[in-house]
Amino acid sequence: MKIKILHRGFNFSQDGPGNRLVYHLQGCNFFCPWCSNPESIAIDGTKMVSDGKEKLSCTEHDIDDVFEEILSGKMLMFSGGGVTFTGGEPTVQFEALKELLQKCKESGINTAIESNASHPRFLELSEIVDYMIVDLKHYDTEKHKSAIGTSNAKTIDNIKEASKVRNQLLIHIPLVGNFNSSKDDAESFSKLIKSFDNEKIDVEVLRYHEYGKDKWTQCRMEYKMTDAHVSDEEYLQFIDVLKKNGISIIKT
Amino acid sequence: MNIKELYKQDEITQKAKALFKEERSLMRLDGWLIARETAYLHSEEFKSLDKEMRAAKELEAIIERLPLSISDNAVFAGTQRDAFARSYALINPAFRVETFSGYCDPTAVYDDIEPNEDFPKERIDAVREYTKKTDYVRTLTEMYDKYEDYTAEVAFFIEQVTGHLIPDFKPVLRYGLDKIIADIEEKISAETNAKKKTNYESFNITLKSTKRLAERYAEIAESKMAQAYDERKAQLELLAKTLRKVPAKGAESLYEAIQSFMLLWQVMCLEQAPNPFAFSVGNADRIFEPYRQMSGEDRKTTAELLKHFLVFFNVADRSWAISQSVLVGGKANDGTDLTNETSYALMDAYYDMNLPQPILSAKLHKNTPKEMYREMGKFFFTPGVLTPSLFNDDALFAVLKNAGKDVEDLENYSVAGCQEPLIMGKDNGNTTNSWFNMPKILELVLNNGCSTITGKKIDTVTTETDAKKLLQNIREEFYKNADYFADKMCDAANGASIAISELPVPFLSVFMGGIETGIDMRDTKEQGTKYNGSGCLIHGLSIIADSFVAIDCFLKDYPDDAERLLNALRNNFEGEEELREYLQSCPKFGNNNVVVDREAAENASKISDMIASKKNYLGNSFRPDWSSPSTHLTYGYWVGATPDGRKAREQLGYGVDPLYGEAGSGLGFRMLSTFKLPFEKFCGGYASHFGVDPKFFTGKEYEDKGAEFGERVISPLFFNDLNEDISPFYLYVNVTTPETLRKVLADPQKYAPSGVYIMRIHGTFVNFLDLSPAIQQDIIKRLDLESTRL
């Protein structure tokens, strides 16, 4: 079985605990206009132009080779580290992802995913994922759909179900100005999260940034975001509301 | 008299800083010429003497004649400035990659001195002419002439090794020279071998001369005392009294021990003027801690005194390539940690002074206290401050044992030069004796023995003329030629060692095992030191591995285009940009790619074995040392285009590191590639550098960041539980970004107001602002942050 990989590398405790080998998989079923990896969206990869040269964003690999690579990286999975699959959206390549997670789990390698949790079979992964990160971009289905092009209904269902069966769940909220960053938004997020089995849930709020802006040009795509930066005050206010609602906030 | 009572609060530190300022303002270094001139003036008188005795007598005359002084800012007496020429060294500010000469002219140093009223041209030339006629220069010149075709474009290079050793002065600190002299007298009485008897007599002349040096300084201190008042008078009184005691007698306080050590060091360097580069103190913390305990100084006072010790190693305005080093930390043979209060005091002294010399290295092991990593944080994370290079005792003990060192000697390994591990007082490694340029040899193999740079026929033992067959058998052809060139290199290197043996070193020999053996440590017929070998610095690992794999890929994808590839290399890819891009896209070492990493490991293993199989002048092995101290630039300049896609004259990879820009998968993958190299075979040492972006470390204080650095970089690399092989054992780092360095260059007033911005380059510190543009750009380029992304 093949898998399309956008990028891979080690990093420390940003996508799960300890030092982790992180695979960014190609393809995403959402279209977030603030995406910092726009080249990851197209299922078959994106041709990027840099210095006058064109290069495809991803490479295709046999999953057995990827697994070999993961095994060879065990020496650097220190401080409770392991392997993380993120994206793009890793569940877009569901079968390959599941098989790799299964193999890692059987080999005693700590597994993590970062996902938008919208895949219909998402919950099948829960048992083979030690550390689960889900992105929750909006609490409101219509607003979610209008910004991203897809409903968040399945995401919310999956998070809810996952929170029941898991002992750990980290929700990432990308904080985007004029989209989901107001005090009212914070209250509504809190309400939604509290409707989950929220004792095991941690939340990390990630502020809007434009680090990926140039890549939109390289992908020959238009970056349409304007005025989406979140001020310190607004960010702290957002966090404050969540905390007041008893939600556990972490920063990795 | 107690040192603390004689100096006001912080006065010792203020004096150290003032002393450094004085030293840095010196624009002339004439002492070395006086030293060599003294030898010349006595040449007729000493002509009939045995060469060991002649060397001793010359040193005695030099010590008697050399002008000496004691600064008003001095807390101790002594200097090593009379042993060095002002700019003579590879890495000096005038360094240009293009002007490197593959010829080592031992009289070129005489061009270094600017004639003036005191030293007119005739005076300089007279010494130069005398030197040219010495047996040493004659023998060396013959050897260079014989191998000039090979060294001109650096298929290999050789040099006579001076400095680069770790003397054991501990017995003198403890018992004093008088005791050593008496022991040697006994040896003289008992000795029946005439040569050894003369050697012993020569040794003692140099030791007595050292006492004379102390007396001369004592006389100066006493005469200054007569004109001084109050505190300074008392300070000079202590100095004079100390100089009347040490090094003749054993030291009984930290102050005396430091003074004793400095004078011994001064004499050792004078004996090798003008080339005493890269001597190493060894573990200064272990040397001085017993004396600190005797006199009871606290960490602060110890650090203050050690600041003067550090200033001693700085010579005039030069801040490059003296390469003398000091070590801290490490473990004992039984695994006990040997970090002590003096280790931390020495680090405090280094941090506060931030001098370009001497080099600091930290020996680490699995049980190094966390405190050590925390203390190192301030070095790594303060911009423009020196950083210690790092050694892994756990791995190095195994490597050295494997190379034949006795277990009881392991804890006394230290490093001389950039990173060459040697046993203190027992090991003459001739560490920079030979330099092997693999990519040049590959170029010659692929081009019928002709240089693609100059077109000149050099040499090859390849007979294959069919392009495809040549590429198909490239490994066999390369290794056959490598062996052929290595034989020639070793013969030339041994010739250089024989030449330098014409300049015996009786003083140094005493501290390198000479008391036991009665043999000079440079003797090429009888072994004067317990351990002996000759070094070989091997260049171009990543180029060879990447090139072999690129050739394989090319033959697979373009089986009928072998001639095209060879032509493209000859023409430096002119008109073949597409082919070059193809070659560049082939797998490269440093990304955890199984095929190319295996190639690199195999190359490192085979060439290490090949070098280790070669014998030096005493029949001992050459020691593989995979390092390239700026020579990856100079040698790269003489290498044509290579099959990995590298263009002609571009630099080679540094040490065992991936070629810059080719390991884009981050630090984790780079480390995984590194782990596969056969470190157990690198008994001569190796070089590796990480340029790390400070943003990856989020701790609040420098100490916290230091702990993070230990946890995320050093521990996984050095002390990885899952690594079943011998782990990497050396690393130096620069924690900064190219943007920061460009800012420093653009506006030094703002970013380095003191005029000193210390960076690491190879084993040594440098003042970044003093470097030539080529090396400044190399440092920036090799930060290569993509390869160390965390």
Torsion of CA B262, B265, B267, B272, to 10 degrees: -150
Q: Residue B622 pLDDT more than 70?
A: yes
pLDDT given for residue B754 in this prediction: 79
pLDDT given for residue A163 in this prediction: 95
Q: Does A76 touch chain B (CB under 8 A)?
A: yes
Q: What is the mean pLDDT of residues B272-279?
A: 92
Q: Residue B265 pLDDT more than 90?
A: yes
ipTM: 0.88
B743 sits in which H/E element = helix B738-746
Q: At residue B178, what is the residue type? A: D
What's the 3-state SS for B236-304? HHHHHHHHHHCCCCCCCCHHHHHHHHHHHHHHHHHHCCCCCCCCEEEEHHHHHHHHHHHHCCCHHHHHH
Subunit contact B722:A11, Cβ cutoff 8 A: no
Q: Residue B96 pLDDT more than 70?
A: no
Q: What is the mean pLDDT of residues A206-210?
A: 92
Asked if residues B329 and B769 have their Cβ atoms less than 8 Å apart, the reply is no
Name the strands in the sheet holding B434-437, side by side, starting at the edge strand that comes first in the sequence.
B156-158, B434-437, B534-539, B622-625
- Nearest CA of chain A to the CA of B587: how many Å? 14
pLDDT given for residue B321 in this prediction: 64
Cβ contacts of B159 within 8 Å, gap of 6 or more: B104, B432, B433, B435, B496
Exposure of A183 in the CB half-sphere (CA atoms within 13 A): 4
Subunit contact A72:B592, Cβ cutoff 8 A: yes
Residue-wise pLDDT tens digits, B401-430? 999 999 999 999 999 988 899 999 999 999
For residue A64, the chain B residues in CB contact (below 8 A) are none
Mean of pLDDT over chain A? 94
B326 sits in which H/E element = strand B325-329
Q: Residue B88 pLDDT more than 80?
A: no
Residue B123 to residues A225, B30, B34, B109, B222, Cα–Cα distance (Å): 77, 12, 10, 14, 33
What's the 3-state SS for chain A? CEEEEEEEEEEECCCCCCEEEEEEECCCCCCCCCCCCHHHCCCCCCEEEECCEEEECCEEEEHHHHHHHHHHCHHHCCCCCEEEEECCCHHHHHHHHHHHHHHHHHCCCEEEEEECCCCCCHHHHHHHCCEEEEECCCCCHHHHHHHHCCCCHHHHHHHHHHHHHCCCEEEEEEECCCCCCCHHHHHHHHHHHHHCCHHHEEEEEEECCCCCHHHHHHCCCCCCCCCCCCCHHHHHHHHHHHHHCCCEECCC
Residue of B nearest to A252 (CA): B698
Q: Residue A214 pLDDT more than 80?
A: yes
Residue of A nearest to B720 (CA): A75
Which range is least confidently modeled, A80-89, B68-77, B321-330, B573-582?
B321-330
* A·B CB contacts under 8 A: 48
Beta-carbon count within 10 A of B503 CB: 23
Asked if residues B437 and B155 have their Cβ atoms less than 8 Å apart, the reply is yes
Residue-wise pLDDT tens digits, B567-583? 999 999 999 999 999 99
Which range is least confidently modeled, B253-257, B505-509, B756-760?
B756-760
Band (B104; pLDDT cuts 50, 70, 90):
confident
Q: Residue B93 pLDDT more than 60?
A: no
Q: Residue B147 pLDDT more than 80?
A: yes
Q: What is the mean pLDDT of residues B149-158?
A: 93
Q: Residue B90 pLDDT more than 70?
A: no
pLDDT given for residue B123 in this prediction: 97
For residue A68, the chain B residues in CB contact (below 8 A) are 594
Residue A44 to residues B176, B703, B749, Cα–Cα distance (Å): 78, 47, 52
Q: Residue B287 pLDDT more than 90?
A: yes
Q: State both tokens at B582.
A: 């193809």
Q: At residue B558, what is the residue type? A: Y
Q: Residue B89 pLDDT more than 70?
A: no
Subunit contact A73:B592, Cβ cutoff 8 A: yes
Asked if residues B652 and B543 have their Cβ atoms less than 8 Å apart, the reply is yes
Residue-wise pLDDT tens digits, B190-226? 999 999 999 999 999 999 999 999 999 999 999 999 9
The beta-carbon neighbor of B668 closest among A68, A73, A79 is: A73
Cβ contacts of B279 within 8 Å, gap of 6 or more: B163, B164, B165, B166, B167, B265, B268, B269, B324, B416
Residue of B nearest to A20 (CA): B668
CA-based R_g, chain B, Å: 26
pLDDT given for residue B319 in this prediction: 63
Q: What is the mean pLDDT of residues B714-724?
A: 95
Q: Residue B135 pLDDT more than 90?
A: yes
Q: At residue B177, what is the residue type? A: L
Band (A21; pLDDT cuts 50, 70, 90):
very high
pLDDT given for residue B1 in this prediction: 66
Residue-wise pLDDT tens digits, B482-541? 999 999 999 999 999 999 999 999 999 999 999 999 999 999 999 999 999 999 999 999
Band (B323; pLDDT cuts 50, 70, 90):
confident
Q: What span, in angstroms and rounded, lies between the C-alpha atoms of A190 and A241?
A: 8
| Closest-CA residue to B40 (of B112, B119, B118, B125) | B125
Mean of pLDDT over chain B? 94
Q: What is the mean pLDDT of residues B5-11?
A: 94
Band (B95; pLDDT cuts 50, 70, 90):
low
Q: Residue B117 pLDDT more than 90?
A: yes
Q: Does B716 touch chain A (CB under 8 A)?
A: yes
pLDDT given for residue A199 in this prediction: 86
For residue A9, the chain B residues in CB contact (below 8 A) are 665-666, 668-669, 789
- Nearest CA of chain B to the CA of A11: how many Å? 5
Torsion of CA B77, B83, B89, B94, to 10 degrees: 70
The beta-carbon neighbor of B720 closest among A21, A69, A75 is: A75
Q: Does A72 touch chain B (CB under 8 A)?
A: yes
Q: Residue B282 pLDDT more than 80?
A: yes
- Mutation for A interface: B723, B788, B790, most A CBs within 10 A: B790
Beta-carbon count within 10 A of B385 CB: 19
B414 sits in which H/E element = strand B413-416
Q: Residue A114 pLDDT more than 70?
A: yes
Q: Does A13 touch chain B (CB under 8 A)?
A: no
Crossing angle for the helix pair B541-557 and B474-500, nearest 10 degrees?
160
- Mutation for B interface: A76, A79, A84, most B CBs within 10 A: A76
Q: State both tokens at A86.
A: 């993120």
Residue of A nearest to B591 (CA): A9
Q: What is the mean pLDDT of residues A66-93?
A: 95
| Closest-CA residue to B697 (of B381, B264, B316) | B381
Question: Burial, B299: exposed, middle or buried (Cβ in 10 Å; 0-12, 13-18, 19+)?
Answer: middle
Phi, psi at residue B145, to the nearest 5°? Answer: -65, -40
Q: At residue B390, what is the residue type? A: L
Q: What span, in angstroms and rounded, lies between the C-alpha atoms of A72 and B726?
A: 17
pLDDT given for residue B322 in this prediction: 82
Asked if residues B302 and B10 have their Cβ atoms less than 8 Å apart, the reply is no
Q: What span, in angstroms and rounded, lies between the C-alpha atoms of A38 and A108?
A: 33
Q: What is the mean pLDDT of residues A86-114?
A: 97
For residue A12, the chain B residues in CB contact (below 8 A) are 696, 712, 790
Cβ contacts of A204 within 8 Å, gap of 6 or more: A170, A171, A172, A173, A249, A250, A251, A252
In percent, the amount of chain B with pLDDT more than 70 equals 97
Subunit contact A10:B668, Cβ cutoff 8 A: yes
Subunit contact A75:B712, Cβ cutoff 8 A: no
**How large is the greatest C-alpha to C-alpha distance in chain A, in angstroms?**
52
Exposure of B393 in the CB half-sphere (CA atoms within 13 A): 30
For residue B712, the chain A residues in CB contact (below 8 A) are 12, 19, 79
Band (B770; pLDDT cuts 50, 70, 90):
confident
Residue of B nearest to A18 (CA): B712
Q: What span, in angstroms and rounded, lies between the C-alpha atoms of B172 and A8?
A: 57
In percent, the amount of chain B with pLDDT more than 90 equals 84
CA-based R_g, chain A, Å: 18
The beta-carbon neighbor of B665 closest among A9, A74, A78 is: A9
Q: Does B587 touch chain A (CB under 8 A)?
A: no
How far is the first Cα of chain A from the last one, in angstroms, to the nearest whole number?
Answer: 33
Angle at B764 between CA B762 and CA B765, to 5 degrees: 115
pLDDT given for residue B102 in this prediction: 64
Band (B763; pLDDT cuts 50, 70, 90):
low
Subunit contact A10:B669, Cβ cutoff 8 A: yes
Q: Residue A206 pLDDT more than 70?
A: yes
The beta-carbon neighbor of A10 closest among B666, B715, B720 is: B666
B788: which DSSP letter? Answer: G
Subunit contact A72:B790, Cβ cutoff 8 A: no
Which tops the pLDDT comparison, B442 or B775? B442
How far is the first Cα of chain B from the last one, in angstroms, to the nearest whole number?
Answer: 54
Q: Does A78 touch chain B (CB under 8 A)?
A: yes
Band (B723; pLDDT cuts 50, 70, 90):
very high
pLDDT given for residue B43 in this prediction: 97
Cβ contacts of B747 within 8 Å, gap of 6 or more: none
